[in-house]
């Protein structure tokens, strides 16, 4: 099939690469000339495992190309994906101006019947708005087009895998032929597909992300209770997670959710609900718990160190989660800003995200590795759970530090082992005596 993807970011580039890999001819479009120039040289503008190989392979096979000329790309395609950004406005509503701009170009290039597929995360009702924009910007008579909602659920860091193995493919269409076109396109993946109306598909995306954010905030709130009561949230989560109705995913207490999706999608759902006349108090609480979590972590450091002024703190991990260099709404940003505001001296290490972080925090130092960052520090704080931090040599860490305090913002260590290495351990919701047999239990 001849496809184009407007917006060559995380979603657009991965979608384009995967569809090309499935044998389609794909043109990826972006208005960012620099990004397109890099891609044409085989240089990826983002880090995503397996992406570079897949892009290079499909470019060399002639199935994948890059352009800044949206209209040319749309003219040559029967299916056009919109995968542009939908960032938050100050009101919390998503800014749809990039979608509108894409529609303006699509409208001018309607040379044949086309299916316009919205992959960007957009509030319920946007399908109708997209249709109206295209009608409005099309110069006079034009061939028919259909608007389909096909929300994206990939996770950064495993975007290629997720796109090849999605849990489900949601197709929101008001026309059977358009739905069939998408079914045909996705058929090689052999994954469950659900066909809905456009509005329901748009809501499925927000309902899913908000639910996952709620699960994380729930366990983080539970972690506060564990800290206050002397329990271990990792055991609580394990005990909950075996219940099939609950499941064990997204029950890891930590510093909260960040990234380019959850924060804006939760805000958008709250704002959309409000505009529809519903006060979504549950989600407001989910958001508040999340906003407090990094500050709660900084508070633990402040208390343990007796203040933060002039304390040297090593931050391990900057990206909002492992395997990505994406810093959007990363917890590291909030934590570093809070530490600096209280006069702490910060050095940081991240396997991939340091170049991007330098542009935000030029005043902190960046190190070669975790031990280098910890050298001479009063505390080490693990903020992103990169695999390479999981097996740190605690004794080596202690030897290079000024004070042996470890703040485990992602609960990745066994507190007992850390203590055995002579370090003081501070996790999230893990103030329990870690061995259940450490105290004699009453019969
Ligand atoms: N990143 C994720 O993990 C993820 C997952 C699921 C859904 N989404 C949603 O997918 C959408 C895209 O997200 P992303 O992370 O890929 O965004 P991104 O910011 O990485 O990429 C968007 C790209 O669109 C380009 N662009 C904007 N307007 C354009 C136009 N008119 N013509 C051509 N190019 C244009 C930008 O230059 C940019 O390169 C958002 O709505 C997001 O919420 C993202």
Interval between CA 119 and ligand 1 midpoint (Å): 9
Interval between CA 6 and ligand 1 midpoint (Å): 9
Task: Name every residue whose Cβ is closer than 8 Å to that of residue 109 and which is 6 or more positions away in sequence.
Answer: 70, 71, 72, 73, 74, 75
Per-residue pLDDT at 327 exceeds 50:
yes
The mean pLDDT value of the chain amounts to 96
| pLDDT value, residue 74 | 98
By the 8 A CB rule, do 231 and 225 touch?
yes
Interval between CA 112 and ligand 1 midpoint (Å): 26
Per-residue pLDDT at 437 exceeds 90:
no
Q: Using CA atoms, how far apart are residues 428 and 354, in angstroms rounded to an integer?
A: 25
Interval between CA 217 and ligand 1 midpoint (Å): 26
Ligand 1 site, residue 152, Cβ cutoff 6 A: yes
| pLDDT value, residue 432 | 73
pLDDT tens string 45-58: 998 999 999 999 99
27: helix, strand or coil: strand
The side-by-side arrangement of strands in the sheet containing 405-408 is 365-366, 345-349, 312-316, 379-382, 405-408, 424-426
CA 381: distance to chain centroid? 21
Angle at 172 between CA 171 and CA 175, to 5 degrees: 105
- Average of per-residue pLDDT across 290-310: 98
Per-residue pLDDT at 426 exceeds 70:
yes
Nearest Cα residue to atom 33 of ligand 1: 30
Please say if 261 is a catalytic residue: yes
Pocket probe mutation, ligand 1, options 6, 10, 170, max atoms within 8 Å of Cβ: 10
Per-residue pLDDT at 64 exceeds 90:
yes
| pLDDT value, residue 441 | 44
Ligand 1 site, residue 30, Cβ cutoff 6 A: yes
Ligand 1 site, residue 32, Cβ cutoff 6 A: yes
Residue with tokens 């505001």: 341
| pLDDT value, residue 440 | 46
Is domain 2-196 classified as CATH 3.40.50.720?
yes
- 228 token code pair: 């206050």
Q: Using CA atoms, how far apart are residues 313 and 375, in angstroms rounded to an integer?
A: 10
Nearest Cα residue to atom 37 of ligand 1: 32
| pLDDT value, residue 69 | 98
pLDDT tens string 328-385: 999 999 999 999 999 999 999 999 999 999 999 999 999 999 999 999 999 999 999 9
Nearest Cα residue to atom 26 of ligand 1: 7
CATH 3.40.50.720 domain span(s) along the chain: 2-196, 210-426
Per-residue pLDDT at 5 exceeds 90:
yes
| pLDDT value, residue 443 | 41
| pLDDT value, residue 190 | 97
Is domain 210-426 classified as CATH 3.40.50.720?
yes
pLDDT tens string 145-175: 999 999 999 998 899 999 999 999 999 999 9
| pLDDT value, residue 196 | 98
Nearest to 27 by CA among 54, 11, 6, 52: 6
Task: Name every residue whose Cβ is closer than 8 Å to that of residue 219 and which is 6 or more positions away in sequence.
Answer: 233, 236, 237, 250, 251, 252, 253
DSSP secondary structure letters along 252-307: --SS---TTTHHHHHHHHHHHHHHTT---HHHHHHHHHHHHHHHHHHHHHHHHHT-
- pLDDT band (50, 70, 90) for residue 442: very low
pTM over 0.75: yes
| pLDDT value, residue 161 | 97
Which entry of 103, 261, 367, 377 is annotated as an active-site residue?
261
- 153 token code pair: 């659920």
Per-residue pLDDT at 438 exceeds 70:
no
């Amino acid at each position: 099939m001849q496809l184009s993807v407007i917006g060559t970011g995380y979603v657009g580039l991965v979608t384009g690469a995967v569809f090309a890999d499935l044998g389609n001819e794909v043109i990826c479009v972006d208005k960012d000339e620099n990004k397109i120039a890099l891609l044409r040289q085989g240089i990826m503008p983002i880090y995503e495992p397996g992406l570079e190989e897949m892009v290079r392979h499909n470019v060399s096979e002639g199935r994948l190309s890059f352009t800044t000329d949206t209209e040319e790309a749309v003219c040559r395609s029967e299916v056009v994906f919109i995968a542009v950004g939908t960032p938050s406005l100050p009101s919390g509503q998503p800014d749809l101006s990039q979608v509108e701009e894409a529609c303006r170009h699509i409208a001018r290039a309607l040379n044949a019947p086309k299916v316009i597929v919205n992959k960007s995360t957009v509030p319920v009702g946007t399908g109708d708005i997209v249709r109206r924009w295209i009608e409005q910007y099309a110069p006079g008579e034009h061939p028919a087009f259909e608007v389909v909602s096909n929300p994206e659920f990939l996770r950064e860091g495993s975007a290629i895998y997720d796109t090849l193995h999605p849990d489900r493919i949601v197709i929101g269409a008001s026309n059977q032929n358009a739905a069939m076109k998408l079914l045909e396109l996705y058929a090689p993946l052999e994954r469950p597909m659900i066909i809905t109306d456009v509005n329901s598909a748009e809501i499925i995306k927000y309902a899913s992300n908000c639910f996952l954010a709620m699960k994380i905030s729930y366990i983080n709130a539970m972690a506060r209770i564990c800290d206050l009561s002397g329990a271990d949230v990792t055991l609580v989560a394990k005990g909950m997670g075996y219940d099939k109705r609950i499941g064990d995913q997204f029950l890891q207490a930590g510093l909260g959710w960040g990234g380019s999706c959850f924060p804006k999608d939760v805000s958008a759902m709250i704002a959309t609900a409000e505009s529809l006349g519903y006060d979504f108090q549950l989600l407001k609480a989910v958001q508040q718990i999340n906003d407090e979590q990094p500050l709660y972590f900084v508070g633990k450091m402040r208390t343990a160190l007796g203040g933060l002024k002039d304390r040297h703190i090593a931050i391990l991990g900057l990206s909002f989660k492992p395997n990505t260099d994406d810093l959007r709404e990363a917890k590291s940003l909030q934590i570093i800003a809070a530490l600096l505001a209280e006069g702490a001296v910060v050095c940081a290490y991240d396997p991939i995200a340091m170049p991007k972080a330098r542009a935000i925090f030029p005043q902190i130092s960046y190190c070669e590795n975790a031990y280098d960052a910890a050298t001479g520090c009063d505390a080490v704080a693990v903020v992103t759970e990169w695999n390479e931090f999981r097996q740190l040599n605690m004794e080596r860490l202690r030897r290079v530090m000024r004070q042996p305090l470890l703040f485990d913002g992602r609960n990745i260590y066994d507190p007992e082992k850390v203590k055995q290495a002579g370090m003081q351990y501070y996790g999230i919701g893990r103030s329990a005596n870690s061995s259940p047999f450490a105290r004699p239990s009453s019969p």
